[in-house]
Amino acid sequence: MFAPDGGTSFAAAYVSGVAALIRSYDPRLSPAQVAQRLTATADHPAQLWDPEVGYGVIDPSRAVGALLSAGGASPPAPQRVSAPVLGPAPDRTDAIVAIWVAAVGATTVVVLLVGVPVIRRGRQRGWRAGPL
């Protein structure tokens, strides 16, 4: 499965879940048969492999639905799909603003941690200079 914020970690969980659904409908299937069903029912890119979606996007309803068809008919022929179109690169303004807010906040905390004791000490002395 392809998601703009995903990758193999998202796809592995998704494929594992569909494989579990297939095995729940027919526990007699071997791992090779489950893998064959997953690849046969996936939506494949036109050139068979694409850097964005690999060998295709898994289709859970077709993978499980092929098991429910009458007489154990073979799964439908794979469809060819084009690679998804990615949008423009994300704007970096948010990250820059967040860094500045964090820097100003940290500076404020340091000034307060240093300034509060200095002001208290100054009030205790009546704002006179201390001994050297």
| Separation between Cα atoms, residue 38 and residue 111, nearest integer Å | 61
Task: Count how many domains the chain has.
Answer: 2
14 and 73 belong to one structural domain: yes
Domain-located, residue 87: no
Burial of 67 (0-12, 13-18, 19+ CB in 10 A): middle
Domain-located, residue 1: no
Domain-located, residue 37: yes
What is the residue range of 26's domain? 8-81
18 and 67 belong to one structural domain: yes
Q: Which pLDDT tens digit goes with each residue over 68-117? A: 653 454 545 555 666 667 777 677 888 899 999 999 999 999 999 999 99
Does pTM surpass 0.95?
no
Alpha-carbon radius of gyration of the chain: 30
61 and 99 belong to one structural domain: no
Q: Which of 85, 59, 69 is nearest to 26 (CA)?
A: 69
Domain boundary among 60, 81, 102: 81
Q: How confident is the model at residue 129 (pLDDT cuts 50, 70, 90)?
A: confident
Domain-located, residue 2: no
